[in-house]
Amino acid sequence: MNRREFLASSAAAGAAAVPIRRLRRAAAPPWYATMRRCGQLNFNERDPLTLDVGGWAEYWASLRVNALLVNGGGIMAFYPTDVPYHHRSAFLGTRDLFGEMAAAARARSIRVVARMDCNYSWEEAVQAHPEWFERDRDGQPRRHNESTWLFKTCMFSPYFTEQMPAIYREIGKRYAVDSFFTNGWPSTGALGVCYCESCQKIYREKVGGVPPEQTDATSPLYRRYYAAFMDRLLEVWRLWDAVARESRPDAVYVGNLGGGIRVVKDLARIGQVAGWFNADHQGRAGDTPLWDCAQQGRVARSVMQGRTITNVTGAYSNSRPVWRHVAKPAAETTLWMAQTVASGMVPWFHWLGGSPEDERWRDTGRQFFAWLAAQEPHFRNTRSVADLAVLFPQSTIAFSRQGTDYLQGLYAALLQGRFVFDFVHESDLSEKTLGRYRALLVPNAAYLADEPCRQIRAYVQAGGSLLATFETSRRNEWGDARSEPALADLWGLTVAGELVGPAANSYMRIEERHPVLAGFEGTSLLPGPENRVPVRLREAGRPVLTVVPSYPAFPPEMVYPRTAHTDEPAVVLRQRGSSRVAYFPGDVERTFWRSGNPDLGRLLQNTVRWVRGDQTPPVSIAGEGLLEAFAWETEPGYALHLLNYTTPNLTWGLVDRFHPIGAQRVRFEVAAGRTIRRVEALRSGRVLPFEHDGTAVRFEVPAVVDYEVVALT
């Protein structure tokens, strides 16, 4: 045997003795998981007459969008459809507007998403398929409020399982689109009640009666209808997603979600089937706070676990009243898009109509998107570095009719205190999720199921800290009262009576000094919450704050306390090892939001600092102005996002100009052993001086005009 034969035989023997392991390459993420910029042009019925496809394609290419949404059909076809009762634009003629735009986008390496509308159809469809449509109590089909020639389709009818899939298949086969998106469905708003044949069958077989027309969680019928509604929603979502993938495996169905923190439909269940969550939260109106878009990002992230989230920014003036064909101020639009990306979502820029007479919006989108594209790696987040979690109490918001004031009040206090935090959904309080956080903050989660209560208790017993308020855990997820709040043992108290309030001119008396009372050295009274649960301690002890009951505020001669001292606690503070627990029996956060009294805001901020413990926070920001901060670990390093909310238009009117704030001094904790070599303010284009302080990096941001992103690499 020569050397070559020896080596060959040895190799064969080794191969026989050791199994060959095939190295499998990790599956590439879907295309939409790496998308960072999205655009949408909404066709109107007359657009086939004049729309300049090439000019529009060049505009979207100038924004360097990865994907473009254009109208395919459903409510109206913008291509020569062969599906019966798929209504074509009256002005389409021989044109294939959708096909032209899809081809122009692809020629510029832009993905194509077919924007569909499943919610309305036309008179001819009502005559041919009356079973497709929602009905009033009197059996009449429901007309659109403004476009009264259109009729509302029913989610439980064959329109959703036969007609819409037929349209998707036709578009998929002809154009091989990358995705389908439905306008307006399923939304996150209240459930509707329909009286069509399909729904009557659901009521008979799954509900047992006709559910209330308004959200009423006290009704067993509504609860069963809610379950049946969610089951149908997910059934349709899965069907449409499967149909989308028939034409190409990497396609996806995208539903229309959104609404900030005002949600009724079960986001946690939707998040289980959604590959891509689109928040159609295009802007704000009325007294909506400026940070509403950032809240939307936090809500969506709490259920999507790192998967794709987009948020639509309407370039038009979607105020109240709405003006569809004039641009809203560039400052408002820019801050909305800034909140989108800061909170971890992908921006989706939107205009209606192919022949705009107001062109002011174009450059707003182009400037912001071009900047995003130039800095793209720094927006590829891998994890949040926050160590505070705020529970998103969806059941309470959806079913209790108590509104969102509790969450808004805590949110405002956290922003004023410069805290970095995440939302966690009440359905996702596992050890894996909560274990990332030093403290859990719970704004009045009055409706809370047994399982999240058990998980919160386990979290505290394992050393986590907790802040909670008012009626938290006093009812189950549907509002059925418990004899005691499920978490009362953590607070060491028992309920001593019925709710008190609303009562003005009540107070909290300082009984002894404590870190939560820092800054209140000159007073023995603090403003009290408007509503409270009377409680008493299970063990002897002296409360830090006690209740001074309400007394007359008018006339002046009658303004004096009838009961100046009580032993009823206004806050309960407990510490066991590393775990700290704070509970306010009153609605301090709601009262803060309603009143704006800074004492209540300071009290909440002090309490958050106390419960999170003595450990140094991962990010500290000192400076003037109102801002919101997000801190991320990114693919290149870290990124700190600073949103400047210092404006008289915080809760009224649209922002029409920026009010810059001055220097912000930052301490940013990085992973042990990580060396930062460069700190750069991406928006202003400045390289910032910095210094290492143990495992932290210190630097100063000279100013924030609208929005700044500091990259640490």
DSSP-derived secondary structure for 187-248: -SSPPP---SHHHHHHIIIIISSPPPSS--TT-HHHHHHHHHHHHHHHHHHHHHHHHHHHH-
> In the CATH hierarchy, which fold is given to the domain comprising 386-612?
Rossmann fold (3.40.50)
Q: Where in the chain is the domain with CATH 2.60.40.1180?
A: 619-712
Q: How many CA atoms lie within 13 A of 572 on its CB side?
A: 30
Question: Residue 617: is the preceding peptide bond cis (ω within 30°)?
Answer: no
Residue 217 has which token pair? 């969680």
Nearby residues of 106 by Cβ (< 8 Å), 6 or more positions away: 112
**CB atoms closer than 10 angstroms to residue 133:** 23
Nearby residues of 493 by Cβ (< 8 Å), 6 or more positions away: 535, 536, 537, 538, 569, 572, 583, 585
Domain 31-117+155-188+224-374 is of which CATH architecture?
Alpha-Beta Barrel (3.20)
Predicted local confidence at residue 24, as pLDDT: 52
Residue 398 has which token pair? 């959806």
Q: Where in the chain is the domain with CATH 3.40.50.880?
A: 386-612
Question: What string of H, E and C letters represents the secondary structure of 86-101?
Answer: CCECCCCCCCCHHHHH
What whole-number distance in Å separates Cα of residue 235 and Cα of residue 230? 8
Length of the chain: 713
Residue linked to tokens 């459809």: 81
Q: Where in the chain is the domain with CATH 3.20.20.80?
A: 31-117+155-188+224-374
pLDDT in tens, 621-678: 999 999 999 999 999 999 999 999 999 999 999 999 999 999 999 999 999 989 999 9
Residues facing 680 on adjacent strands = 687, 711
Which CATH number does 619-712 carry?
2.60.40.1180
Residue 191 has which token pair? 């459930």
**CB atoms closer than 10 angstroms to residue 668:** 25
Dihedral of the alpha carbons of 617, 621, 624, 627, in degrees to the nearest 10: -90
Q: Give the H/E segment covering residue 302.
A: helix 292-304
Predicted local confidence at residue 345, as pLDDT: 98
Dihedral of the alpha carbons of 363, 368, 371, 373, in degrees to the nearest 10: -100
The whole-angstrom distance between residue 17's C-alpha and the CA centroid of its chain comes to 55
Predicted local confidence at residue 460, as pLDDT: 98
State the amino acid at position 398 in one-letter form.
A
Report, as ranges of residue numbers, the positions in the chain whose pLDDT lies below 50.
1-23
Q: Is 614 exposed, middle or buried (0-12, 13-18, 19+ CB in 10 A)?
A: exposed
Question: Residue 702: is the preceding peptide bond cis (ω within 30°)?
Answer: no
Residue 325 has which token pair? 């064909």
What whole-number distance in Å separates Cα of residue 670 and Cα of residue 251? 38
Residue linked to tokens 């509790």: 406
694 φ/ψ sector (left φ>0, alpha ψ -120 to 50, else beta): left
DSSP state of 375: T
The closest alpha carbon to 221, from 256, 191, 243, 198, belongs to: 191
Residues facing 186 on adjacent strands = 256
Strand order in the sheet with 545-548: 525-527, 507-510, 545-548
State the amino acid at position 119 in one-letter form.
N
